[in-house]
Amino acid sequence: MTHDRLVCANCAGPVREGRCAVCRAERARQARETGPLDMLSPAALGGLLLLLLALALLAHQASTA
**Which residue range forms the structural domain that includes residue 47?**
39-65
Taking the C-alpha atoms of residue 29 and residue 25, their distance in angstroms, rounded to an integer, is 6
> What is the structure's pLDDT at 1?
46
Q: How many domains does the chain have?
A: 2
Q: Do 27 and 3 have their domain in common? A: yes
Model pTM above 0.75: no
Q: H or E stretch including 27?
A: helix 21-32
Q: pLDDT per residue over 1-46, tens digit each?
A: 456 778 888 999 998 888 999 989 988 888 787 777 777 788 988 9
Residues 23 and 3 placed together within one structural domain of the fold: yes
Length of the chain: 65
Look at residues 18, 34, 38 and name the one whose alpha carbon lies nearest to residue 26: 18
- Is 43 within 8 Å of 52 (Cβ atoms)? no
- pLDDT tens digits, one per residue of 37-52: 777 788 988 999 999 9
